[in-house]
Structure 1
């Protein structure tokens, strides 16, 4: 009996797939302006891209397996939102807790109506019947794009959406991605795709196909490589089913975008600010409950508290550096990811830095750059440079800063120091 269990354990730890990476050309994929409503298929001019997409679409549509693919936010790990076993395989590949809900990605509102709500033949006046009016301004301007909305699950007599996708809750999260590879995959499979980030659970989200391969090699059959993700953090998640509405997760669109574009209903939008979640507590969107975005190395987040000149900030960092490094035994290699005041800081400023190998790298000069570079930088210093400690200089929580600081607090496990 013991030998049988040992053999079974060894087999379960072996690679299940010879993971393929197929390169695709996003620029070869074109959608018509009306496709977001009527679901018309894209025109794909590059034969290799078309063949790769058809292969991936067949896996999504006809099997229980998963595919990793680029979106404008991060790479997603997708399986059919309508198939319990596909959703189980997403959780299995990521080693993700199954009470963490998944976002369903659709290619059009027509697909939402047909595949999730089982309604066909709707004319143009009824096309938005399953989307409450509170969302209409937002989706008119921000879909396709990094905006996720909560909708009521279909009535109990309509058995389409897997309860494993919703974590058995009365709402589900849905969006139309703007990345042409993602939209084409969903359209060609004609299947709503449940897709969290394509990384091992708790790790920084992937913004390159190589990040996905690092985490999920052998666990999934196929990765579509469409290059680097432009936005660099996950989608913004909003709940317009309550009054006042809520921003549940900051992301690719800013809070300011939501309030400005959403119309009068969104002017009093609140920001979900749950610091801790109980073990048995249900959450309505990914990224709220469990450890997320964390490298193997310890992360220290420097929270900006006031404007100051670079020299004063560097002096303050020297004190923090001394205090934090003395507490870690066998410390050899340290990374400092900078944004504004610490950009270009000299190791000579840090008196004790001669004891360690010190890497100083900039995240960017503005919110969009910092957001786009964030996860890739965390992965680079952790997986390639193999540092023992990472200091990250934070930014003010406005515009892109709200999403950036949300991710960094989770990456640092709330190990934050005012700076």
Structure 2
């Protein structure tokens, strides 16, 4: 009997010891949503959200950051497979502020929440518990489970029906009713056209899915705008969730401009490729070594992209299924590109190029109504591919010139 009592008491004490130990926030404490503006790198192009808890009485001023990751532990392999694990970290505010404002020149906006002392402590305990090693990690998803989504979930779990969001109203005010993920993300990538091209190439038809107004909160700006309108229950009545909103830092926008992306955008570069395709398609150059080298590089490159898209489709957990970019980035082009150097040009290969050309022409004609909105920069690529396919088919009909 004594042994059972001792065991039960030991189990009880062990459970207490394993619980997160946190100081109680005082009446002077503040909990705020921090919205950080877009950065220059692709991974920071959509902005960032974090929570700040400060309490002069307890000596606390920390940032709770759900967007923490490391480049260690095979980061790039996991990123390619869509298996990135992010986690909630607790970092001193001044350290994070220095990175965002001084090193990265990004806007930092603070919305102080209108919470009672009890509500502050409830949210504080939730975040502290989430930050424990056994709870902190989660499988990151670009659009459905990121730093902004996690904060939204935190408030809903802690306050339940005591907090009201008006997501429909926010979406309508911003003129984004019925917008797709692609349309939303496009607005944040205007200064990084190559980054936009990479994202839109790798991610498939999922980006053209219309999402609910609540799901718009995957973007930090929409989370911030939702907070502006939200209400929370206090003393049997609903009051505005945000008590005070202010800029902690305003970026110098001139420093964020990307001149390379402006003058050497994908559209400009791919238009040059189209121009070369037109020039070498003239009769005097069509059978030349230059034309063959160009065709090899063009079809080989598109084939490489096609194999990458197939890998993303079948071997990763990214939102990359059903990718219409495979129309122009045909994986068969990787092997058939070598036929451009062949002395013998059989009918099977000739028919392939003809069918490929017809498919490209159909794609160009149906560009505006395709289920997946292809990046406009790929239009010159499709035109160049179609032109060279018809040219190679024509060569096949009239016989390959002997070297």
Which TM-score band (shorter chain)? under 0.3
Q: TM-score, normalised on structure 1?
A: 0.26
Higher helix share: 2
| Greater Rg by CA | 2
Question: Which of the pair has the greater relative contact order for Cα pairs under 8 Å at 6+ separation?
Answer: 1
